[in-house]
């Protein structure tokens, strides 16, 4: 679908999700701030496509390396909470 040609890995058991300490729950998906962010996005013309995966499972961003070092970590606190991209890019080697 994305035309990404590299390897993709999945963990249906959610073991890595739990180890990473990522958020899970309806209160995270329908958090007041996520609803506000959704309304702002809708007003700006963004529309949600087909939902895939578990809607109550929140994500995060991890920059790993060099070696076994974690250069950057971010855990979404609620739906629509995203890592600041300048900080992610600054963590890249």
Mean pLDDT of the region 65-77? 93
What region does 72 belong to: left with phi over 0, alpha with psi -120 to 50, or beta?
Answer: beta
Mean pLDDT of the region 26-35? 83
Beta-strand (E) ranges in the chain? 60-64, 70-75
Q: Taking the model in full, what pTM does it have?
A: 0.74
Higher pLDDT: 23 or 27? It is 23
Q: Is the pLDDT of residue 49 over 80?
A: no
Q: What is the pLDDT of residue 87?
A: 97
Q: What is the pLDDT of residue 29?
A: 82
């Amino acid at each position: 679908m994305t035309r990404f040609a590299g390897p993709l890995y999945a963990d249906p058991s959610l073991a890595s999700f739990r180890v990473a300490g990522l958020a899970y729950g309806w209160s995270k998906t329908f958090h007041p701030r996520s609803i506000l962010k959704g309304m702002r996005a809708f007003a700006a013309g963004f529309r949600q496509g087909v939902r895939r995966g578990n809607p109550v499972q929140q994500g995060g961003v991890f920059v790993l390396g060099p070696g076994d070092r974690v250069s950057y970590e971010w855990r979404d606190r609620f739906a629509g909470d995203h890592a600041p991209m300048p900080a992610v890019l600054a963590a890249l080697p």
